[in-house]
Amino acid sequence: MSNTQETTGDGTPAAELNISLEKVCFIIVKAREFDVKVDPVEPDPASNPADDGERGILEDYDDDPTQAELVGAITSLNEDEVVDLITLTWIGRGDYTAAEWNEARALAFERHRERSARYLIGIPTLGDFLEEGLAALGYSCEEFEVNRL
């Protein structure tokens, strides 16, 4: 599926995305959920979740379902979608501008390997970078946020 916008807010031609906006927005939500994880205070408190205020959901364990969902969402993408995700991240991080989309995408395609999911989830604030990248191209996750959270 391709998503296009005529221009961004400053008149820069927006890029044609090979990844659906809905997929990017889902990954943004999952990346933000993953980013807020903290090291466990007690490795295995063995308490009742009702008694501990369900703090364990924010603690980062090896079998964390949030990480599994994020990795699964990224690894299920085809190569063009992963390349777009990396390119959006680089634009959102400020490595490239929206006008440099083609150049950034070519480099992302060249560097794309099987370890893209690990690379992406290793980037702190991945969700913010993706959202900034989308915004630079004139896209928004606003329509998907209503029923997502």
Compute the chain's Rg from CA coordinates.
17
Q: Give dist(CA 59, CA 50) in Å, integer.
A: 16
Q: Which residue has 């599994």 as its token pair?
A: 68
Count of the separate structural domains present in the chain: 1
Average pLDDT over residues 125-137: 96
Identify whether 12 is part of a domain.
no
List the structure tokens of 91.
């634009």
pLDDT value of position 77: 95
4-62: pLDDT as tens digits:
444 545 554 468 899 999 999 999 999 998 886 545 455 555 555 555 544 454 444 45
**Helix, strand or coil, per DSSP, at residue 13:** strand
Q: Is residue 139 part of a domain?
A: yes
Task: Note whether residue 9 is domain-resident.
Answer: no
In percent, the amount of the chain with pLDDT more than 70 equals 68
Is 3 within a domain?
no
Which neighbouring-strand residues pair with 59? 38
Residue 4, domain member (yes or no): no
Measure the CA dihedral 1/72/145/126, to 10°.
Answer: -100
Cut 0.85: pTM above it: no
15 lies in some domain? no
Q: Is residue 68 part of a domain?
A: yes
Domain that holds residue 139: 21-148
Question: Is residue 90 domain-resident?
Answer: yes
